Amino acid sequence: MELIRTFHPVGQGAFYSERIIDGNNEYNVVYDCGSDTKFKNKVERIEEWVKDKEIHLLCISHLDNDHVNLVKYLVKHSIKIHKVMMPFINNEEKILLINRNRIFKEGMSSLLNNPSNFFGENVKILYIDRYEDVNDNNTTVLDLSDNNLTTEGVWSSGSEIIINHILKWRYIPYNFKREDRLQQFKNLLNHNNIDYNKLCSDKKYTLNLLKHDLKKLRNIFRQVDGNINTNSMLIFSLPSNSGLFQKLEIQRDQIMYTLKSLKGYTGSDVYNYKIKFAIKEILNKPGCIYTGDAKVDISHYDKIFKKYHKFIGTVQIPHHGSNKDFCIKLFNKLSNNQYLFCPVSFGEKNKYNHPTNKNVKYALDIYFKKERVEVLNYGNLSKKLIVIGVTEKEESTCIQIFQNKAQEIKELIK
């Protein structure tokens, strides 16, 4: 079995994929596909990756434009999408997003209005309900190869999703809701004498507003921290047991890092020095947490993260490194004085100035400039975190290749 995990360079957005090869069988899983960054060949990169592929599970963290506006190219150019997993939103939340989409002319109305029509009648959609304290004794296991699986199911956060019962791999979603964003939005509307109930009950409400009112509403949406989308689905990608792989290679900056290639390295270059030792630890922790724009903090550790901790060697830094959504205590706890790969996706010249968390910026400066050991400044961030900046530049692509047998790398990533 081989696992190839890729953090694709799409700038201010997210596009992550996992390719699992088990004998003659291949399975593809995608987490988000969108970008607000304008750059040459953006669409072509998506089309090139997806052509001749079946996507067995497409996971959508939330419905912000920068996470979903490229999904249509996956639908158009893939051989087939088997299953889609996305957060469940109620009718009020859906209408609010439809009105927002119209104001900003984001072109996602078909996905918002009717996901089943957008993906096609043969694509089964799993909706993940809002996270509340999950009863671990009643965890649901969903086998996606089961043809009897209903298209209309709403499943609990913490359910265990397997693509095929033979594979030793699982996906565990948690749909987090941001009540603080909604309350902030309501307060702003009230201050500007705009009726929240109409905005959330009438799909055509924004069609009839005057230009002045549209401009006012557009500014209100922009003031909400992290946009108005109140849901974001975090996913654990995990092995079913430890000791699954014997070999790990990491491709970054067009260099393939392996224990063999770094043997005897003196350690004068921080980046290579840390990756050399990180590979040893992360080989036994092939699991990954895809966080989307979810806000999780140290209070979630005992309830959610602790039981999966031993499998986790990679964690996506949430919300493009936003200061409001990065919990340094949680990441230091997940590191636990061991190496942890932490990709963060952002556009090089994005309008939000992401990443805005100073600790993430410190670490990014270290790796972009490849400073010497003696000038490191991590702030309060664990020195075992390897923060990987994934921008729109193709050379910022990060690929992890886990193997349980020797195989030509060119054959795996072609």
Confidence at 268, pLDDT banded by 50, 70, 90: very low
- Cβ(85)–Cβ(172) under 8 Å? no
Does residue 330 lie within any of the structural domains? yes
pLDDT in tens, 293-342: 988 889 889 989 999 999 999 999 999 999 888 888 999 999 988 889 99
| CATH code at position 154 | 3.60.15.10
Q: How many CB atoms lie within 10 A of CB 73?
A: 18
Does residue 237 lie within any of the structural domains? yes
DSSP code, position 373 = G
For the chain, what is the mean pLDDT?
84
- H or E stretch covering 88: none
In this model, does residue 288 exceed pLDDT 90?
yes
Does residue 212 lie within any of the structural domains? no
Q: What per-residue confidence (pLDDT) applies to 366?
A: 54
Q: What string of DSSP letters covers 110-167?
A: HHHH-HHHHH-TTSEEEEEPBP----GGG--EEETT-TT--TT-EE-TT-EEES-TTS
Q: What per-residue confidence (pLDDT) applies to 178?
A: 73
- Cβ(406)–Cβ(9) under 8 Å? no
Does residue 406 lie within any of the structural domains? yes
Q: What per-residue confidence (pLDDT) applies to 50?
A: 96
Q: Which of 367 and 161 is assigned the larger pLDDT?
A: 161
Domain around 159:
2-178+227-413
Q: What per-residue confidence (pLDDT) applies to 179?
A: 74
- Cβ(279)–Cβ(248) under 8 Å? yes
In this model, does residue 145 exceed pLDDT 50?
yes
Which range among 80-94, 160-174, 296-310, 352-366 shows the weakest confidence by mean pLDDT? 352-366
- Cβ(164)–Cβ(27) under 8 Å? yes
Burial 145-164 (b: 16+ CB within 10 A, else e): eeeeeeeeeebbbbbbbbbe
Confidence at 139, pLDDT banded by 50, 70, 90: confident
pLDDT in tens, 3-60: 999 999 999 999 999 999 998 999 999 999 999 999 989 999 999 999 999 999 999 9
In this model, does residue 180 exceed pLDDT 60?
yes
Distance, in Å, from the CA atom of 370 to the CA atom of 390, rounded to the nearest integer, reads 16
Confidence at 257, pLDDT banded by 50, 70, 90: low
Does residue 288 lie within any of the structural domains? yes
pTM of the model: 0.89
Does residue 185 lie within any of the structural domains? no
Q: Which of 316 and 167 is assigned the larger pLDDT?
A: 316
pLDDT in tens, 98-138: 998 888 888 788 898 899 999 998 899 999 999 886 555 55
How many structural domains is the chain composed of?
A: 1
In this structure, the dihedral spanned by the alpha carbons of residues 335, 385, 162 and 26, taken in order and rounded to 10 degrees, is: -150
Confidence at 80, pLDDT banded by 50, 70, 90: very high
Q: Which of 274 and 370 is assigned the larger pLDDT?
A: 274
Q: What percentage of residues in the chain have a pLDDT greater than 90?
A: 43
Q: Which of 226 and 27 is assigned the larger pLDDT?
A: 27
Does residue 193 lie within any of the structural domains? no
Q: What per-residue confidence (pLDDT) applies to 138?
A: 59
Which range among 48-62, 273-287, 303-317, 347-361 shows the weakest confidence by mean pLDDT? 273-287
Does residue 144 lie within any of the structural domains? yes
